[in-house]
Amino acid sequence: MQFTVAIDGPAASGKGTIARALAQAFGFAHLDTGLLYRAGAMKGGDPVAAARALAPEDLERHDLRTLAAGEAASRVAVMPEVRAALNKFQRDFARREGGAVLDGRDIGTVICPEAEVKLFVTASPEARAQRRCQELGEGDYEAVLAQVRARDARDTGRADAPMIAATDAVVLDTTALSIEAAVAAAQALVAERLGRSG
Ligand code: DC
């Protein structure tokens, strides 16, 4: 069975948590595509060569979840050659047997426009900055908020595969939702679509 759940949205919107919960609930494989961009950016040197040479051990680095890695990833992600180098791996993952959940910025629009479920998970910049500060235990709120806004602007403003909700995506705003409520809403949607396709 091929069944793809595409989850897009900005940093700290809750998309990663929702993606992991769905993968576990339905027994699907999960790919955090931001990690690919983070690992490529942190490899150093030419970003295009780094993306082309990405190896599984590059995804094991312990500094990939830092604010600095996210910022670096967002900068290399504007380069079409970097994106092209990572596309095939993501597409193959999306259509693997047994079902897959991918979270990122362009999964429902570019990587897997045929995904059976598309979610666009978002939240206010203020809520996201607050979550980031709590998660990371680093950075002061105002500085993190400025970074969140700058990253949103870069991710939505780039020419190649900008962050945008697919026209057929279900938008889930988690600003005022508990994580349990957000996961439950996403789970109900997947269950409904699985029922329809099965
Ligand atoms: O989801 P994240 O915060 O780990 O992503 C880090 C950066 O990588 C993000 O700001 C933009 C880029 N990215 C992307 O361009 N496309 C994706 N599918 C995933 C991430």
**Which residue intervals of 105-198 are DSSP H helices?**
125-136, 141-157, 179-197
Q: How far apart are CA 131 and CA 144, in angstroms?
A: 10
Q: How many domains does the chain have?
A: 1
Name the residue at shortest CA distance from atom 10 of ligand 1: 74
pLDDT higher than 80, residue 138? no
pLDDT, tens digit, 9 for 90 and up, residues 25-58? 999 999 999 999 999 999 999 999 999 999 999 9
- The CATH number linked to 15 is 3.40.50.300
pLDDT at 96: 97
Ligand 1, from 155, 156, 163: best to mutate by most atoms within 8 Å of Cβ?
Answer: 155
pLDDT at 135: 82
Give the global pTM. Answer: 0.95
Mean pLDDT of 169-177: 97
- Pick the atom of ligand 1 nearest to 151's CA: 10
Write out the residue range of the structural domain in which residue 30 sits.
4-197
